[in-house]
């Protein structure tokens, strides 16, 4: 059984008690993303407050859009994890799927309710889906992990 899989931007390694992910995801990315979203929400709130002083609808609608779109963005970003080492007992399921841009992802759903996303291949450049996907699914199944693959 294969224990190391090369992905688009790193590798996945099956260790004895955990899954090790090396994909060069910086640890500060989540903090920067949340700070950016919070600043957009704050600016939207300031635009709404300014609307009540000026009665200019140009202040109200962009402010509402920023706040309404910013709140779900914070929730989604908060539930993303960038950890590189996940114990097999903490994994609920692994969902392997492609998005509209033909990128192949593996989403690892963790018991804490967070999701760890791994980019397996982009635009089928590395041919991961054709050459290694079956082996990856077999390795996950051998660790008794639930795999969802369309």
* Residue 35 Cα to chain centre, angstroms: 17
Is the pLDDT confidence value at 129 over 80? no
Please answer whether residues 16 and 83 qualify as being in contact, where contact means their C-beta atoms are separated by less than 8 angstroms. Answer: no
Q: Are residues 58 and 10 in the same domain?
A: no
Q: Are residues 92 and 122 in the same domain?
A: yes
CB atoms < 10 A from the CB of 25, how many?
19
Q: What is the pLDDT of residues 62-95, one digit of tens each?
A: 999 999 999 999 999 999 998 989 999 999 999 9
Q: Are residues 35 and 68 in the same domain?
A: yes
pTM for the whole structure = 0.80
Q: Are residues 57 and 8 in the same domain?
A: no
Give me the number of domains the chain comprises.
Answer: 2
CB within 8 Å of 36: residues ≥ 6 apart:
none
More confident residue, 110 or 56: 110
CB atoms < 10 A from the CB of 65, how many?
13
Which structural domain range is residue 130 located in?
A: 4-21+84-148
Q: What is the pLDDT of residues 48-57, one digit of tens each?
A: 999 999 988 8
CB atoms < 10 A from the CB of 91, how many?
20
* Residue 98 Cα to chain centre, angstroms: 13
């Amino acid at each position: 059984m294969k224990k190391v899989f090369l992905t688009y931007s790193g590798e996945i390694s099956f260790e004895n008690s955990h899954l090790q992910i090396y994909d060069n995801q910086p640890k500060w990315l989540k903090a920067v993303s949340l700070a950016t979203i919070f600043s957009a929400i704050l600016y939207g709130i300031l635009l709404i407050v300014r609307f009540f002083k000026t009665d200019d609808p140009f202040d109200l609608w962009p402010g509402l859009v920023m706040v309404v779109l910013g709140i779900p963005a914070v929730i989604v970003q908060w539930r993303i994890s960038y950890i590189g080492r996940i114990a097999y007992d903490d994994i609920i399921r692994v969902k392997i799927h492609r998005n509209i841009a033909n990128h192949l992802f593996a989403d690892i759903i963790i018991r804490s309710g967070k999701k760890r996303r791994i980019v397996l291949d982009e635009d089928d450049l590395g041919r991961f889906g054709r050459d290694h996907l079956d082996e990856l699914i077999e390795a996950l199944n051998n660790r008794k992990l639930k795999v969802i693959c369309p």
